[in-house]
Chains A and B, each alone.
Chain A
Amino acid sequence: MGRALIATRMGFREQRRRGLLLVLLVTVPVLFITWSFAITEPVPRAISLPGGALSLTDMQQIHGAIMVPITVGFLTGLLGLFIVSSALESDRRLVVAGFRPVEVVVPRLLVLAAGAILVTLVSIGVTTIDFTPASWGPFVTGNLLSALIYGLIGGIAGVMFGQMGAVYFMFFLPMMDFGVAQNPMFFEGTPQGWAQLLPAYGPTRVLIDGAFSPGFEATGGVILALAWLSGLTLVLVVLLTRSAQRGRHGS
């Protein structure tokens, strides 16, 4: 336990040293989200909410609301990718030095979760300048789930594709998933059938419900998002444990 705490503290210290990263994690949400509100026309738009109700809103409000998960998905995806891929080698050495795999894997997940929470809070804070969701709980929950899910996807991509392939993947996937497939600005306000197969479907339905409805009808979205979160956590833990054990077995 003591060694896991040390590894966690070192993981946080490593991130704190990266001044430019912290600046970007704050400025990117501020600029992206504020600017999205500024450039979008308030064209009227009806969108479908979880539970089947229709809500009449406008493109500016939708763009502002959907820019939060686009931003957090994009940022935490890259964050997860680099937290994991930059630590693979050092974690193997720690295992050779006597750490158990769990003592190096858990700290990485904690740093990743902390990064996801930070980015989500900054992004939601910025959004409140121009937009007030109808219901805060689902809006915050949906965005936090988006951040955690994409942080894990970034980590998995970092292990599976190598740093460069994973960067291309994480430039592309959040943009397509949140920005196109789940975005109520397109497809007449309702995600198409294929969008339900993507990881952002559940959390986006939750946050869209929170953004535009005072009630809560997105239980299915929460369950789906939690299923993705559990499955992805399991996959990443298995991949990181295997990678760390390679240090122990010397292969």
Chain B
Amino acid sequence: MSGSTPITGYFLIEQIRNRSTVAMLVAIPILFVVVSADVLSEFASALGGSVAGSSAAALGAGWAAAFLAGALGFFQIASSRDADRRLALAGLAPIRLAVARINASLVLGIVVSLLAFATLWLRVGVTHPLHTLAAILMFAVIYIGIGTLVGSFVSGPLEGSLAVAFIFLIDAFSGPGMSASDGISRLMPTREAADLLIAAGAGRTSPTGDWLTVVATAAVALVVSSFAFWFSARPRR
């Protein structure tokens, strides 16, 4: 997959060429964490959830990384569908193309996660920095997978953006800490990542098994989305 690295660089440049996009990717995670830190505890209690204080603020950082990463993943695929088909027809292996596209999203997702994490640290303090950062990153990785998956099958940018936002909002507001954790919340993609983030925010560690589950969820999201992307970008003669 090392052959994908230079292509990843080109795809990354393509994404950050527009200064407005870069400005949004920098400003939104910061503003989101700052504003939501004050209100998420209250919102959770209205939904019957129990998350409060630093844990609620930490969850906000995870959400900021998630919704930006979902949009990143979607647009990385949807905005370049025709070009990617042409690249595949010209001989570039669709799987290399998929890896390069997803890698470009991952790089930007890491930047967004770091910004959300740094803001969280400055705003409310972080007891377990590594755990917190890792959990925020997992939100971003899972949503890059979701965005890529949506982008592989939905071509319209409006329809795809709505689909990603729809998944995000259902996931966020019915996840752990925000509602009584039963029923549909058990099926949510970031459920385990949210548990880790809430624990890290409260200064608690999480069992290794929980971390493995989250890493496995993120890996499945990336593998499934890579396959979906390969499927949609493969040359059809």
Contacts and interface: CB of A to CB of B under 8 A. Distances in A.
A79 B156 CA distance: 12
A63 interface: yes
Contacts, number: 108
Interface string B150-175: 00001011110111011001100110
Contact of B169 (A18, A32, A168): A32
Given A39-B47, A39-B179, A165-B24, 18 more contacts: A18-B158, A24-B159, A24-B163, A39-B48, A39-B173, A41-B46, A41-B48, A59-B46, A161-B18, A163-B157, A165-B20, A167-B75, A168-B21, A168-B28, A168-B71, A169-B28, A180-B36, A187-B39
Interface string A178-215: 00110101110000000000000000000000000000
A78 B158 contact: yes
Contacts of B157: 82, 86, 163, 167
B46 A171 contact: no
Interface residues of B, number: 40
Nearest to A24: B162
A237 interface: no
Given A28-B166, A41-B47, A176-B35, A165 B21 contact: yes
A167 B166 contact: no
B45 interface: yes
A180 B157 CA distance: 26
A232 B36 CA distance: 27
A176 B63 CA distance: 13
Contacts of A161: 18, 20-21, 24
A166 B161 CA distance: 11
B28 A172 contact: yes
B162 A168 contact: no
Nearest to A62: B46
A216 interface: no
Contacts of B43: 185-186
A40 B35 contact: no
A43 interface: yes
A21 B156 contact: yes
B83 interface: no
Contacts of B35: 176, 180-181
A32 B172 CA distance: 12
B39 A186 contact: yes
Contacts of A97: none
- The residue among B24, B31, B156, B173 with the most chain A CB atoms within 10 A of its own CB is B24
A227 B50 CA distance: 41
Contacts of A18: 156, 158-159
Nearest to A74: B165
A104 interface: no
